[in-house]
Chains A and B, each alone.
Chain A
Amino acid sequence: EAAVTQSPRNKVAVTGGKVTLSCNQTNNHNNMYWYRQDTGHGLRLIHYSYGAGSTEKGDIPDGYKASRPSQENFSLILELATPSQTSVYFCASGDNWASYEQYFGPGTRLTVL
């Protein structure tokens, strides 16, 4: 069965620190996505990727970088974390031909103090 995993599941960081959220998928999907979920905002797209080596800006990319070193792995990087980045982050994968049908990971709860 298709699987998307995320690590860590919970993270507490300090303001100004660097945070890396990792995502791994075994679906062999080309497309991968990073979202954040906040009360009152639903899910918002931060970065996405069409395949290894590619990253694209989503709707709210400021303060975030992304890295796709391989088909399976997609990381979200907060170089200088701020309290406003406290949120729940979801990674998802999607096939080229049905990318709107996305498979989500379990989420990472990030708290920036």
Chain B
Amino acid sequence: AQSVDQPDAHVTLYEGASLELRCSYSYSAAPYLFWYVQYPGQSLQFLLKYITGDAVVKGTKGFEAEFRKSNSSFNLKKSPAHWSDSAKYFCALGPNTGANTGKLTFGHGTILRVHP
């Protein structure tokens, strides 16, 4: 079975600070990992993905994430944070089985609030 854990339900910081949203996963093989963002009142948007290769992947809106196999983590980072980054962020895992079903397992999400 696979699972995704986002241990922080809420993260609050001030504009200009560095943000890091935590994500850990459980999966028996090498996973595909994703971050999606949901702005208030909107649907989910794809942010970035890790499939293979470089551990640090860059996405849209200045975000990047680092895959760490050693502790099964895929944390999302951005510096500096902007008030417009306030949103709910979801980490997700896709099984690397060779059959690309597209079935994603999502974490519960982290609500980020960036104060101006």
Contacts and interface: CB of A to CB of B under 8 A. Distances in A.
Interface in A73-113: 90, 92, 94, 96-97, 99-107
Given A90-B44, A100-B49, A103-B46, A58 B107 contact: no
B103 A48 contact: yes
Contacts of B104: 43, 45, 100, 102
A104 B32 CA distance: 19
Q: Which of A42, A90, A94, A106: most chain B Cβ within 10 A? A: A42
Contacts of A58: 103
A102 B46 contact: yes
Interface residues of A, number: 24
B106 interface: yes
Interface residues of B, number: 20
Given A48-B102, A99-B100, A104 B109 contact: no
B115 to A, nearest CB: 23
Contacts of B74: none
Nearest to B102: A99
A100 B32 contact: yes
A103 B43 CA distance: 9
11 contacts: A31-B102, A40-B108, A42-B90, A44-B106, A94-B102, A96-B100, A99-B100, A99-B101, A100-B100, A104-B43, A104-B45
